[in-house]
Chains A and B, each alone.
Chain A
Amino acid sequence: MEEPAILSFDDLHVRYGAHEAVKGVSFDLARGQVVAIVGESGSGKSQTVLAAMRLLGPDALVEGKVLFEGKDLLRLPGKELNAIRGRRIAMIFQEPMSALDPFVPVGAQIAAVLRRHMDLSRAAAKTRAVELIDLVGIPEPTRRAHAYVHELSGGQRQRVAIAMAVSCNPEILIADEPTTALDVTVEARILDLITELKTRLGMAMIFISHDLGLVRRFADQIHVMRAGEIVESGPAHRILTAPEHEYTKMLLAAAPRAMNRAPQKDAPVLLEARDLSVHFSLRGGLFTTPKKVKAVGHVDVTLRQGQTLGLVGESGSGKSTLGRALLKLVPASGYISFEDRDLSPLNRAAMRPLRRKMQLVFQDPYGSLSPRMTIGDIVTEGLRVHEPHLSRADRDTRAAQALDEVRLDAVLRYRFPNELSGGQRQRVAIARAMILKPKLVVLDEPTSALDRSVQADILDLLAKLQSDHGLSYVFISHDLSVVRAMAEEIAVMKDGRVIEHGETADILTHAKDAYTQGLIAAATLKALQVA
């Protein structure tokens, strides 16, 4: 283990004007070692490696040293630096879609790197590129080499990026959240690929992630970063089992705890849907008949009062569409009843009075609040619709109360969304739904866009609101570990259908479907096996 470091960061600083994004980061990377940098958004973890590779914009002021075999990367002439980049230190980025050139076939992109560094002929580079595409496990490599980025799936794109990164047998691989943009089952396979290639090619690796659980499997050394500083470093095992710093402890504790609540079979049924289907028509021209695409097919749902139904599935599984169809926000066929009233024949106007009883909270707290309205106006928008007699002052009072209920300072109602943090915004979105005192709330990935530490707070808040007001939730998520903490029942969705449905504990222990098992495996992969 005690090899001399091939890459060492020495007191690295990154400044943007007065703001210091990285405040004196130092650590070493030994040959063949895996170092993980873990931190929440804005902790400066990506800035650290981008600064080392001199990939930051001109407004970033970088100080300190990054020594690669004794040479300071930050002061190397451009030519020498370019001989190292890609050849000896390679990178994988978070978003494979935008990180790859949209105008060039993927094979040619890999070949360009090979020709630059490996001195290969055009034909040899092409052949080698196909071999690499095969190596990273993309089927039909010869054909895929001619594909453009937009023609590949998310997982395949990241595989191409990996092929490009390992093409010149680099000594160091820097992976900047390489799986964050991917579905959980894809994430697991990509991680397998990276770790396998790492061992096979004997690379050292810097792996950047927001997820302590994720890096557990392969990191030798973990550095926990917060606000531009490394707050705790050490061997992975030690960090995970005996964290010393409060922040690390908090990150570890932030994993949602399973509640294992038993469903109450005798509670009255609040919402029921039978044979629910949603079709989207792809827009045709004026004279061409639009194509129909089935988003949700023949789904049955029952939700009892005070209970939570978890809808689990990966992107494109139709879970969000189903959530909106249950609220009659997208046109659907089939039967829906709410409080024993048939909703199917109701039109938009007839639904309006019912809307106050059924609400929706979205995933992205940045997109779900209109940037041009004050928090107070956002929270009370429902009151304008359902209690139009209220005066401005009344609404203001109610806004303050609603913010108080979601544990936000009432002063915030005069602010605009861009002045709030992600967690605060999500509380505002919850307050907007709660101000109408609904019975049913559809929560569409309410914590997925948030940092782990914030996630736990929001889940707590949702649980408290549920028990205070006897709410029923439809909780939509791609993350089984979160759903497990909230739902008594789980429905697993794939390609618009419910493939498995049952009590949470049953599903987790006795999943019949292979897809469900894959999801569970992915969730346990990330789960922290600490007491």
Chain B
Amino acid sequence: MLRLVLARTAAAIPTLFAIVTLAFFVMRLAPGGPFDSERGLDPEIMKNVQHAYGLDLPLYKQYGLYLWHLLHGDLGPSLHWRDFSVNDIFKVALPISMQIGAEALAFALLVGVPLGMAAAIRPHGIVLWLARIVTLCGIAVPAFIVAPLLQVGFGLNLRWLPVAGWDDGDWRHQILPVFTLALPQIAVILRLTQAAMRDTLSAPFIRTLRAFGLPSSHIYLHAFRGACLPVLSYLGPAAAGLLTGTVVVETIFSIPGLGRYFVDGALGRDYTIVMGTVVTVAVFIIVFNLLVDLAYGLVDPRVRHD
């Protein structure tokens, strides 16, 4: 297990290096600079500002400096939010995004897995229809359609929940974003669980359990063990999907999370914010995938990391 962790960490270093390099140079190739919006800025002042952020240095020096700072865990100063470093911003924004993401994932699992199992065990009647409708909604109605509809329905018309904003994580503000974020994941998890459960239930070892007169509860429990493997391995992509989702959800619901800073940063050429997000997200995905692999080894005896 330790070896897997070490090997993955070693493998992550070139990956992260490639990501940082790619993001750095692609971003700098972009026409326009971070201070273009401030029209009429005196060329002299502009020069000073550029100098202050080291943007007048040759590109390779900027790159070297960035890497050097990054090695020390410093993501640099934000170019847009003056007086704030990217670290300062992320210190606030990252926990918000992670909170929404984790809640959405938990919600998706809590709904998707039991519903998928139920639909596999009893593939008829209300359960199956419910599963079908939920899947269809998750697939056919993307977050950016769901979110405005929810805002109008629950926020403006019914006035049950706030339309947008975060309010330091007041629970009422979390319901709509988390639901929006979870819906597409529910659909995938439901479908995966259903298919995996159906496959496992028709596996020969389940037939053996039946041939030995073991009760249904025992059989379903054992089938679930096999069926949860595909769901487990989906959690990696799910995390990536949730991160994508936060971009939309945070934009629509005006939540001061990572995704919103990223979009604003990309549009405003806030190099450091964009780079910081890309690096953070990449690290997050790598770590999460490692955790999933470790968990997989615990559940499936055929895959042991020793």
A and B touch in the complex (CB under 8 A): yes
Binding site for B on A (CB under 8 A): 53, 55, 57, 81-87, 90-91, 93, 95, 98-105, 112-113, 116-117, 148, 150, 161, 164
B37 within 8 A of A: no
B159 within 8 A of A: no
Task: List B contacts of A55 (CB < 8 A).
Answer: 207, 210-211
Task: List A contacts of B204 (CB < 8 A).
Answer: 93, 95, 98-99
Cα separation A10 to B276 with both chains bound (whole Å): 75
Distance in Å: Cβ of B256 to nearest Cβ of chain A:
42
19 new A-B pairs (CB below 8 Å) besides A91-B212, A148-B301?
Answer: A82-B215, A85-B210, A85-B212, A85-B213, A86-B213, A86-B214, A90-B212, A91-B211, A93-B204, A98-B203, A99-B208, A102-B300, A102-B301, A103-B222, A104-B222, A105-B301, A113-B213, A116-B213, A116-B215
Please state if A86 and B207 are interface contacts (CB–CB under 8 Å).
Answer: no
| 28 CB < 8 A contacts A-B | A55-B211, A82-B215, A85-B210, A85-B212, A86-B212, A90-B212, A91-B208, A91-B211, A98-B203, A98-B205, A99-B204, A99-B205, A100-B205, A101-B222, A102-B205, A102-B226, A102-B301, A103-B222, A103-B300, A103-B301, A104-B222, A113-B213, A113-B214, A116-B214, A148-B302, A150-B302, A161-B208, A164-B212
Task: List A contacts of B157 (CB < 8 A).
Answer: none
Distance in Å: Cβ of A177 to nearest Cβ of chain B:
13
Cα separation A154 to B140 with both chains bound (whole Å): 48
Most chain A CB neighbours (cut-off 10 Å) among B204, B208, B215? B208
Smallest CB-CB separation from B224: which chain A residue? A103
Cα separation A84 to B209 with both chains bound (whole Å): 13
The interface on chain B, measured as residues whose beta carbon lies within 8 A of the other chain's beta carbons, has a size of: 21
Please state if A103 and B215 are interface contacts (CB–CB under 8 Å).
Answer: no
Cα separation A103 to B209 with both chains bound (whole Å): 13
Given A93-B208, A101-B205, verify A82-B301 contact (CB < 8 Å): no
B91 within 8 A of A: no
Cα separation A448 to B212 with both chains bound (whole Å): 32
Smallest CB-CB separation from B218: which chain A residue? A112
Most chain B CB neighbours (cut-off 10 Å) among A82, A103, A105, A117? A103
Cα separation A117 to B212 with both chains bound (whole Å): 9
Cα separation A65 to B111 with both chains bound (whole Å): 44
Cα separation A55 to B208 with both chains bound (whole Å): 9
Please state if B213 and A81 are interface contacts (CB–CB under 8 Å).
Answer: yes
Cα separation A81 to B215 with both chains bound (whole Å): 11
Given A98-B205, A99-B207, A150-B302, verify A113-B212 contact (CB < 8 Å): yes
Smallest CB-CB separation from A82: which chain B residue? B213
Distance in Å: Cβ of B123 to nearest Cβ of chain A:
10
B225 within 8 A of A: yes
Cα separation A164 to B205 with both chains bound (whole Å): 13
In chain B between 179 and 229, which residues have their CB closer than 8 angstroms to a CB of chain A? Answer: 202-205, 207-215, 218, 222, 225-226
Distance in Å: Cβ of B202 to nearest Cβ of chain A:
7
Task: List B contacts of A85 (CB < 8 A).
Answer: 210-213
Cα separation A84 to B212 with both chains bound (whole Å): 8
Cα separation A105 to B202 with both chains bound (whole Å): 21
Most chain A CB neighbours (cut-off 10 Å) among B202, B225, B301? B301
Cα separation A116 to B214 with both chains bound (whole Å): 7
Q: Which of B202, B207, B213, B301 contacts A87 (CB 8 A)?
A: B213
Most chain A CB neighbours (cut-off 10 Å) among B207, B212, B300, B301? B212
Cα separation A55 to B225 with both chains bound (whole Å): 21
Distance in Å: Cβ of A178 to nearest Cβ of chain B:
13
Task: List A contacts of B211 (CB < 8 A).
Answer: 53, 55, 85-86, 90-91, 93
Task: List A contacts of B205 (CB < 8 A).
Answer: 98-102
Smallest CB-CB separation from A161: which chain B residue? B208
Please give me the 9 A-B residue pairs with the lowest Cβ-Cβ distance, nearest first.
A86-B212, A85-B213, A82-B213, A86-B213, A98-B204, A148-B301, A91-B211, A103-B225, A101-B205
Distance in Å: Cβ of B18 to nearest Cβ of chain A:
15
Task: List A contacts of B209 (CB < 8 A).
Answer: 101
Distance in Å: Cβ of B8 to nearest Cβ of chain A:
12
Cα separation A93 to B211 with both chains bound (whole Å): 10
Given A102-B302, A103-B300, A164-B212, verify A57-B222 contact (CB < 8 Å): no
Distance in Å: Cβ of A92 to nearest Cβ of chain B:
9
Task: List A contacts of B213 (CB < 8 A).
Answer: 81-87, 113, 116-117
Cα separation A104 to B300 with both chains bound (whole Å): 9
Smallest CB-CB separation from B214: which chain A residue? A116
In chain B between 270 and 306, which residues have their CB closer than 8 angstroms to a CB of chain A? Answer: 299-302
In chain B between 104 and 149, which residues have their CB closer than 8 angstroms to a CB of chain A? Answer: none
Task: List A contacts of B226 (CB < 8 A).
Answer: 102-103
Please state if B208 and A150 are interface contacts (CB–CB under 8 Å).
Answer: no
Distance in Å: Cβ of A53 to nearest Cβ of chain B:
6
Cα separation A148 to B214 with both chains bound (whole Å): 20
Task: List B contacts of A81 (CB < 8 A).
Answer: 213
Task: List B contacts of A113 (CB < 8 A).
Answer: 212-214
Task: List A contacts of B222 (CB < 8 A).
Answer: 101, 103-104
Task: List A contacts of B203 (CB < 8 A).
Answer: 98
Task: List B contacts of A87 (CB < 8 A).
Answer: 213
Smallest CB-CB separation from A84: which chain B residue? B213
